[in-house]
Amino acid sequence: MTRPVIISHEMDATWRYASGVAMERFANNLLERRIEAMQCGECKRRYLPPRPFCGNCRVPLTDWAPVASEGVLEAWTVVYLPIVDNRTGITRDGPYAMGLIRLDGADTTLNHYVAETDPACLKVGQRVKAVWREELRGAIDDILHFEVLE
């Protein structure tokens, strides 16, 4: 039997993404530490991230609504397995905590980091608050993570 050949290759690709009108306004808002959702005129659902259409009602979205940078932790986990950040190739080691956060005024939840990594201190239904980065860049990681409020 021939010795098997395994060929290693690092795929390194660059991309340019157009944000679209809704995401552009959302990103520019972040530069002022402001969060806005888009609201469906039919079902009244307030969407984060903002988007051009309501998938459920199949209608275009045009209305904006303010959202707080505080909300409820609807789901949480503490991840112990490292993950490669494919934007940088850098590995993020565990433990790090993730949450689905329903910001006050929004109907969908935001997937983001949570500062607390002790499972005993995390609970569905807890209040959490965004901690902003000093230097804002107009991106979702302008929010560093959410911290648990007592």
Partner 1 sequence: MRRAAIIGTGQTHHASKRDDVSQPELVREASARALLDAGIDAAAINAVVISSMELFEGRALPELWLGEAAYAAGKPCMKVATGGTSGTSACIAGYHQVASGMFDLVLVVGYEKHSEGNTQAGMAIVDPYWDRAVASGALGNFALSISQYMADTGVTEEQAARVAVKARRNAARNPYAHLQMADITVEKVLESRMLAHPIHMLDMCPQSDGACAIVIAAEKTANKFCDRPAWIEGAATRHQQPYIGDIERRLTTMETLRSAAKEVYAKAGISDPRRDLDVAEIYEPVTYAELAWYEALGFCGQGDAGRLIEEGVTEMDGELPVNPSGGVLSSNPVGASGVIRVAEAASQVLGRAGEHQVDGATTALATGYGVYAWADALVLRAMS
Partner 2 sequence: MIREGSIRLPFAYAAGKSGSTYLRALQEEQRILGSRCSACDRILAPARSFCPTCGDAELQTVEIGPGGVLLAWTERPDKGILGLVKLDSADTAIVHRILGSSDVLSTGMRVQARFGDASDENPEDSLLGFAPEVADS
Using CB under 8 A as the criterion, which residues of the chain lie in contact with partner 1 when the complex forms? 4, 6, 9, 11, 15, 17, 19, 23, 26-27, 47-49, 55-56, 74-81, 83-87, 96, 98-100, 108-113, 119, 124-125, 139-141
Cis peptide before 49 (omega within 30 of 0): yes
Tell me, residue by residue from 108 to 147, as one string, x for binding to partner 2 by CB under 8 A and - for no binding: -------------------------------x--------
Residue by residue, DSSP assigns 67-97 as E-SEEEEEEEEEE-S-EEETTTTEEEPSPEE
Residue 103 has a CB neighbour count (10 Å cut-off) of: 24
Question: Which residues would be at the binding site for partner 2 (CB under 8 A)?
Answer: 2-19, 23-24, 27-28, 84, 86-89, 139
